Amino acid sequence: MRVILRSPEGEVVTRDVIDGRWTEPEGDAETVIGEGAWALPGLVDAHSHIARERLDYLSGDLAGAEERARESLRSGVMLLLDKGWLDDTAIQVARRVPEEERPDIEAAARIIANEGGYMKDVALEVGEGTFDEAIRDQARRGDGWVKLVGDWPRKGLGAVANFTEDQLRRAVEIAAEEGARVAIHTMARDVPSMAVRAGVHSIEHGLFLTAEDVEALAARGGMWVPTILRVEHTIAQLGTESTGGRLLAEGLENVRRLLGLASEAGAHVLAGTDLVGTPTNVASEALKLIEYGLPAAEAVRAVSSSGLAATGRATDFAPGSPANAVLFPSNPYDEPDVLKHPTAVIRLGRLV
């Protein structure tokens, strides 16, 4: 198979496929696809939870998760960063489903919190005496990630930090020893800056990051996954006049102020669904990023090449790189809505 690949920047290359890798074209080809289309190396859901179809905090549905992984690939998603659950369903999916039938999957195993620091019976609850051991164990059980719940609302107190900055720093160090990154859920005011200072790799939600924080993230290749759709859904559930609803709405206004600055700084702003629909809905999060002020080209990168680059994957179609591509009928930089409607998906040289 021969594929004509035109990037949103207008660069056009022609590639053949050998053993699932792009190669320079040689001779004639029986099948040629991609003429007139625009290509991305793949979409990325950077805050996924494929264990369940909705945010119900139940044990993973393995059969459903396997189908959601396949469905994600059909919609053009080439990478899922699964940010943990109450079990290891996402990790089992990565082991059970052949890689040509699903996206790449990097996943945390159990979500980690302290006592009372998350939904009851969902997180692995740790104390100071068990914190280090839990981080190491979950880094070994996961596929590249450890997930912490950095803050959680307590009655009468609002959102409270679950861990100290020193604990967050230790988590990063211990996870790194096991070849893993750390992601942190945070919707409170002070915790995002603590996490950035501690070296946490990916800030999930991060409603109260500061300009200095996004510059620091950019300088070290860190990630920020705002999950705007999820936050809007949570505000609707809590009520716009509730204490939590008002806090989150204030946070979203801060996100609106920061997205342009993050783009200018070169931070890896990424798109994540967080169970607002399946990962096939990640294009909608990219459009929401545009609504909140991220330039269209940056939003397209947020849902594609930025996530690939942040995790060390190929972002172009160079010979020798995995033969992955998603084709669109028009340039997504000019028409971002086209991200929802790929015309072809190629995974490891196979037309999905």
Reported as a single tens digit per residue, the pLDDT across 39-92 is 999 999 999 999 999 999 999 999 999 999 999 999 999 999 999 999 999 999
The pair of structure tokens assigned to 329 is 């009928």
Rounded percentage of the chain residues whose pLDDT exceeds 70: 100
- Condensed to tens digits (0 to 9), the pLDDT of residues 304-338 reads 999 999 999 999 999 999 999 999 999 999 999 99
Asked if the model's pLDDT at residue 120 lies above 90, the reply is no
pLDDT bucket at 150, cuts 50 / 70 / 90: very high
Cβ-based neighbours of 8, under 8 Å, separated by 6 or more: 38, 40, 297, 300, 331, 332, 333
Q: Which tens digits make up the pLDDT trace of 169-213?
A: 999 999 999 999 999 999 999 999 999 999 999 999 999 999 999
Beta carbons within 8 Å of 30's beta carbon, 6+ residues apart: none
The residue written with tokens 């169970």 in the block is: 275
pLDDT category at 158 given cuts 50, 70, 90 is confident
Average pLDDT of every residue of the chain: 97
Give me the amino acid identity at 172. Answer: V
Question: Exposed, middle or buried by CB within 10 Å (0-12, 13-18, 19+), for 115?
Answer: exposed
What is the per-residue pLDDT for 156? 83
Closest Cα partner for 272 from 106, 45, 22, 31?
45
Rounded to an integer, the average pLDDT of 123-138 is: 97
- Give the chain's domains with CATH numbers: 1-41+314-352 (2.30.40.10), 42-312 (3.20.20.140)
Give the rounded percent of residues in the chain with a pLDDT score beyond 90: 97
Give the strand order in the sheet containing 21-23: 21-23, 12-18, 2-6, 32-33
pLDDT at residue 157, rounded to an integer:
83
SS (H, E, C) the chain: CEEEEECCCCCEEEEEEECCEEECCCCCCCCEECCCCEEECCEEEEEECCCCCCCCCCCCCHHHHHHHHHHHHHCCEEEEEECCECCCHHHHHHHHCCHHHCCEEEECCEEEEECCCCCCCCCEEECCCCHHHHHHHHHHHCEEEEEEECEEEECCCEEEECCCHHHHHHHHHHHHHCCCEEEEEECCCCHHHHHHHHCCCEEEECCCCCHHHHHHHHHCCCEEECCHHHHHHHHHHHCCCCHHHHHHHHHHHHHHHHHHHHHHHCCEECCCCCCCCCHHHHHHHHHHHHHCCCCHHHHHHHCCHHHHHHCCCCCCCCCCCECCEEEECCCCCCCHHHHHCCCEEEECCEEC
In this prediction, residue 155 carries a pLDDT of 85
